[in-house]
Amino acid sequence: MKEGAFPHTIDNSGRNAITAASRREATAVIEAENEHVPILGGVFNEIGLITLSGGIPILYGGAVIGGIGIAGSPGEDATGKEFDDICAEAGIAAIAHHLNEDRSDWQ
């Protein structure tokens, strides 16, 4: 958690990961959709999902196998991309080589 981040960001990061995995899309996309359909945020909240950026689905072999969620990095870069999304993408990049390895020996 980033220094100065609020305690609820721990919960929000998990909700970002779950939302990205279950919806099979980045939460930044869902957040943008929420601007046009404001009720979406309330509906998502009711079922434990979230409409904030910072969540990205993890893909393996074309299938969603999980999600990564980041919260607590307020602000955005010079292009307008939120720091939570930048951190989530860095996390995916850090494990991407593992997602391309042969897993035939897994039990």
pLDDT given at position 71? 92
How many domains does the chain contain in total? 1
Assigned domain for 64 exists: yes
What SS3 class is residue 65?
strand
Distance CA 20, CA 15 (A): 8
pTM for this structure? 0.82
Nearest to 17 by CA among 53, 68, 52, 54: 68
Here the CATH number for the domain that contains residue 75 is 3.30.450.150
Tokens 């939570």 identify what position? 84
User: Tens digit of pLDDT for each residue in 97-106?
Assistant: 877 765 555 4
Domain span including residue 65: 8-99
18 falls within a domain = yes
Instruction: Sort 20 into a burial class: Cβ within 10 Å, 0-12 / 13-18 / 19+.
Output: buried
Does the residue 24 lie in any domain? yes
Task: Identify the pLDDT of residue 99.
Answer: 75
Q: What is the pLDDT of residues 67-105, one digit of tens each?
A: 999 998 888 999 999 999 999 999 989 988 877 765 555
Do the domain assignments include residue 26? yes
